[in-house]
Structure formats: structure tokens, C-alpha cells
Amino acid sequence: MLIARHMLFVLIAICLARSAAQAGEFAEFRPLGFSADGRVFAFEEFGVQDGSGFAFANRFFIDTVSDSFIPGSTVRVVIEDDTKSIGDARTEAESRSAALVARYDLSANPGVIAAFNPLSELDGAAHHLRYTPFSMEPQPFGPYEVTLQEVELPSSSLCRDIADTSTGFRLELTQINGRPSSMVLHDDTSVPQSRGCPLSYRIGGAITHLAGGVSTHAVLVLVRSIGFEGENGRWIAVTRRFE
């Protein structure tokens, strides 16, 4: 009986190990801050790649006026040594981006995490987010409301062998400072290869900044895509300024 019970525990452990080994991975998100005038927003994502087990860290610097990456600013680090940690990857990414962080004085302007809705938030809505831009009482601002709609698009060349179509998204502000709106923040007409082969999207939160009467909002979107051993998750920030 004891031998049978021991064998059962061993089989359960093997099954659990295989299940964990075949899981995908979702990057953690951290804001790096804004420039003093809010015209630049930066964030970091990091984790351990499924399949290889290599630690990675990416840093993105966004021009919030044009909602586009600052040319030459993106930092991507993958440490191809499975004895190295996420901390090692983040340290390398920090070193490579130190000049940009200092140039825009990001540490002095962290912004406000107005809302955060990660995949682990079980009661969070995937395609809807409602928030006020700053934490204060009495609240001088009305709510902002964001909705996300997934759209079917032609598959990119990267994913044509997997599926005929790919998933993009449309992001719309349906409420601005308490007033109804139909402002489109983002509307895919194609899916860039940088997203891999997307399966779905989730509104992940909102980071805000106020300076000189201008509020800047960075709406976070989690991209769920096909990974090596399961679904992977990476982050996008869509920015808009309000005067």
C-alpha cells in the first residue's frame, strides 16, 4: 500500500512538472515614468522566455504627442544563459537605457497608476476600463472610460502557416472627463510582426501624468500571442494628451 501510494505521488509530481514546463509566459509590467512635460512616457516589461528559459527585459520610450516610439530608443535584452536571472536582464536593460532615462528625467516624474488590470485580476473586464486620472478627494475630474474591440485581419507573413487571419484591436475612449466620447485611440489595419501571432487582447490599465494643464494618459494593452509552449503576454501602451 505504501509503495502504491508513493508511486501515485510520483506520477502526480511528474504530471504537474510537465504541465508547468509546457506553460506559456506573461511579461511583468513596470512604468519608468514621464518627462516633466509629459511628452515622453517609458515602461519596462520583463520575464523568462518559455522554451529557452532565458531571462529578458525590454524598455520602450514613447513620444506621447505622436503615439510612436522615439527612434532608436527601444532596448531589448535576452541573456542566453539559463543560469542568469531576471535581475541580470533588467540590470543590463537599465544600463543600456540610462542616458535616455536621465535625458527625460523619468525618475522625477513617475506618473500615477490610475488603474491596473493584469491577467491575474479575476474580476477585471478584459475589454472595458473606467477610471479617474488621479487619486484625490474631492475628485476634480470626471471618469474616463475605455473600450477595446478585437478585429479580424489578414495574417502577417510570420503567421500565415498557422492561420489565415490574425487578431488586431480597436481602442476607443467612450467617456472623457465624465462626458460621452467616441474618440478612437488606436485602430489596427494590419498586425505588425513585432506582436508575433496574436490570439487576443486585454486592457491592462492606465498611467497618467499632469503638467501645465495638460494630462497625458497611457492606456495599457496586454497582447496574448502564440508562444513556444503556450500563450505568451507582452505589453503595449497607447498614449493621448488632453489639454
Q: What is the mean pLDDT of residues 30-50?
A: 97
Does residue 39 have a pLDDT over 60? yes
Residue 233's pLDDT is 96
For residues 48-72, give the mean pLDDT: 95
pLDDT over threshold 70, residue 3? no
pLDDT class for 21, splitting at 50, 70, 90? Answer: very low
Q: What is the pLDDT of residue 230?
A: 84
9 pLDDT higher than 80:
no
Q: Indicate the pLDDT class of residue 205, thresholds 50, 70 and 90.
A: very high
- What's the pLDDT score for residue 150? 98
Q: Is the pLDDT of residue 110 over 80?
A: yes
Q: Which three cell numbers stand for residue 220?
A: 495599457
Residue 23 has pLDDT above 70, yes or no: no
Task: Give yes or no for residue 220 having a pLDDT over 50.
Answer: yes
- Hey, which bits of 122-230 come out as E strands? 128-131, 144-154, 165-176, 179-187, 198-211, 214-226
pLDDT band at 163 (very low <50, low <70, confident <90, very high): confident
- Mean pLDDT calculated for residue range 207-232: 93
**Nearest one of 234, 228, 241, 153 to 190, comparing CA atoms:** 153
Q: What CA–CA distance (Å, rounded) separates 119 from 23?
A: 15
Average pLDDT over all residues of the chain: 90
Question: Residue 157 has what pLDDT?
Answer: 84
Please state the rounded mean pLDDT for residues 151-157: 91
- Top-confidence residue, 52 or 179: 179
Where in the chain are the domains?
Answer: 25-110, 111-243
Model pTM score: 0.87
